[in-house]
Amino acid sequence: MKRLLFALGIAACSISASIAQTPTAPSPGEIVAAAPATDWTTIAASDLLVMDLVPGPRGPRRVVIQLMPVPISAGWVRNIRKLADAGWWDGTSINRVQDNYVVQWGDATEKKPLPDAMETMTEADYVSPAVAKALLDHMILQATRDNGHSAGKPEPSKPDMADAYAAGGAFLNGWPLAIGSVQQGNTWPVHCYGMVGVGRNLSPDTGSGAELYAVIGHAPRHLDRNIALVGRVIEGIEHLSSLLRGTGPLGFYEKEEERVPILSARIGTEIADLPTFEYLSTDSRSFATYADARANRRDPFFIRPAGGADICNIPVPMRRAVP
Amino acid sequence: MKRLLFALGIAACSISASIAQTPTAPSPGEIVAAAPATDWTTIAASDLLVMDLVPGPRGPRRVVIQLMPVPISAGWVRNIRKLADAGWWDGTSINRVQDNYVVQWGDATEKKPLPDAMETMTEADYVSPAVAKALLDHMILQATRDNGHSAGKPEPSKPDMADAYAAGGAFLNGWPLAIGSVQQGNTWPVHCYGMVGVGRNLSPDTGSGAELYAVIGHAPRHLDRNIALVGRVIEGIEHLSSLLRGTGPLGFYEKEEERVPILSARIGTEIADLPTFEYLSTDSRSFATYADARANRRDPFFIRPAGGADICNIPVPMRRAVP
């Protein structure tokens, strides 16, 4: 398996090649800042879930979540759209904050009726053969294109993304994905910092999407393929990660007054004056250069480039569109 | 290099072997709870740095840091002992909280004079040939012992710890270490959640130890071998990770009143009624079983064991000694 990935340049490591480049190259942040407008992709407002918490010590607390694109976790995402349109989360709360793990929100009473026509998904939906096929096509396309480039300016080195949880990793349309077995069409989104997933009870329950959590610690990759991931926080994660930790089992708040009320959660198209958000296209040259720089820091602060980076240490850059 | 590690069973993966075991095995937490007293190692009070912040919304905020054992980062740790004994941090503050990265503390004025006889370390001290030698001896010893066991009860499978930043990883005397090249005696501590490091300016400056930070996000492994790690938070990390994020560059607080004052920081032997802390011995069978369970969750909630875990997703269990 790894061999195929190497061939496709996904996990191939070339520290020497990297170090051989300019001794003091720009930092990842500088690379992102210098990326041409054409390397940024707009995120449709219809793909955003905007959650407003009660104001905090510094004022309004808005959390903007980008929902995953079809076909990844599509059934759960459709449920989430129904819940948002129904204003289902309005008046619910953040009920669990477990340090170095997750912040979880939903109906603390667990009695609030769900909207009609909610879909039920199965555990088979945790992985996506369709995405695996798309990813493989994309990887082959990119590998071919990279070879085409090699005549001109040298390509950024591909960071070593050796992964203890999968045969490899890759980015597709802005999302980090793990690859189990491409032959078996086995691909799944990964639990990186800021990713949003669907709370559930014991298997075979897969959750409806009404109970959600965001990762606020080291990537809990053991949850991959065991829980549905439906999106990621692209702005306002600090309003979740800096909340007081719950003192009950699993970090649940023990007192009702500790819960953080949710004023509303709506799809972006329903929000007035919502800024336009963009991500750095993961198939752009800027992203490749950024990923290489994340794996091989050459800006003045660093003395030893790592030569690699795990997929969750290459966060996809996000920004508000420049007006 | 990998081959040697495989031979030593550090990065060897055997998902099937793992899955073949009891279908619903205990959770990592249950394994730790069931570990015999003999599998726990006491942490000497003299190896603890106890930092008290001004009380927070819930009362006292104490952060307990375990200092790294000789010879790892020994010069910086000696400086930290001098600073603590001099009460140098008393009246200083937490000045930086960068989301998904670090909390940093020290003298915001950067004018406070340091104690006499502080040591100056070099970048060569970021790695430790002595530790690499000790680690290799330990690994060989353990591999031999494991073979000895194989006659009896089956050994827990060794989790796949494939690492994008090093040839492999291992635990020595309770600490997670990365292994670059064992031949070159190239071993270093890793930036996992909760690890404490030494702030510095541009290379070749390596910092004195007066300016410290703790990791509060996804392991920033690119800092490995670029900054000295001197310890880890073993209790009270939530008092750091739940602080309001700084709004200035790099997460520094912009207003003086945002800084969180440090009442005192002392070595554990100076603290009255300090509980005794213990870690689960990383060469114990309980730890091996726990690490296997972290990599291959078989408790009822999980449907797909990952087959591996990165070294920072196998946190070394800590507890207050049972009186």
Task: Kindly tell me if the per-residue pLDDT of A145 is higher than 60.
Answer: yes
pLDDT at residue A4 greater than cutoff 50: no
Query: Is B237 in CB contact (< 8 Å) with chain A?
Result: yes
Query: Which two tokens mark B18?
Result: 């793992």
Q: pLDDT tens for residues B83-108? A: 999 999 999 999 999 999 999 999 99
Question: Looking at the complex, does the CB of residue A211 fall below 8 Å from at least one CB of chain B?
Answer: no
Q: What is the nearest CA distance from A263 to chain B, expressed in angstroms? A: 21
Determine what percent of chain A is predicted with pLDDT higher than 90: 76
Q: Which residue of A has its CA nearest to B243?
A: A242
State the pTM of this model. Answer: 0.92
In percent, the amount of chain B with pLDDT more than 90 equals 76
* Assembly ipTM: 0.91
What pLDDT digit, counting tens, does each position of B8-63 carry?
Answer: 323 322 223 333 344 578 999 999 999 999 999 999 999 999 999 999 999 999 99
* Fold entry, domain B45-320: Cyclophilin (2.40.100)
Q: How far is B133 from chain A (nearest CA, A)?
A: 22
Record the tokens describing residue A316, joined without a space.
């996809």
Mean pLDDT of A20-48: 89
B234 pLDDT more than 60: yes
Question: Closest chain B residue to A191 measured between Cα atoms?
Answer: B218
Chain B nearest-CA residue for A240? B242
Q: State the nearest Cα–Cα gap between B47 and chain A, in angstroms.
A: 24
Contact B63, B107 (CB under 8 A): no
Taking CB atoms within 8 Å and a gap of at least 24, the contacts of B301-305 are B301/A202, B301/A203, B301/A226, B302/A203, B302/A222, B302/A226, B303/A123, B303/A203, B303/A204, B303/A225, B303/A226, B304/A126, B304/A224, B304/A225, B304/A226, B305/B15, B305/B18, B305/B19
Contact A202 B57 (CB under 8 A): no
CA gap A142, A182 in Å, rounded: 16
The Cα of A224 is separated from the nearest Cα of chain B by a number of Å equal to 8
Q: Name residues 135-194 of chain B within 8 A of A (Cβ).
A: 159-165, 192-194
Residue A228's DSSP bridge partners are: none
Q: Which residue of B has its CA nearest to A298?
A: B222
Express each pLDDT in A96-124 by its tens digit: 999 999 999 999 999 999 999 999 999 99
Q: Which residues of A touch B59 (CB under 8 A)?
A: none
Taking CB atoms and an 8 Å cutoff, what residues of chain A touch B241?
Answer: 99-100, 241-242, 245
| CB-nearest partner of A203 from B123, B217, B303 | B303
Q: How confident is the model at residue A130, as a pLDDT?
A: 83
For the stretch A187-215, pLDDT in tens is 899 999 999 999 999 989 999 999 999 99
As a whole number, mean pLDDT of residues B203-214 equals 96
Q: Does the CB of B123 have a partner CB in chain A at under 8 Å? A: yes
Using a CB-CB cut-off of 8 Å, the residues of chain A touching B297 are 222, 226
In this predicted structure, the answer to whether residue A3 has a pLDDT above a threshold of 60 is no
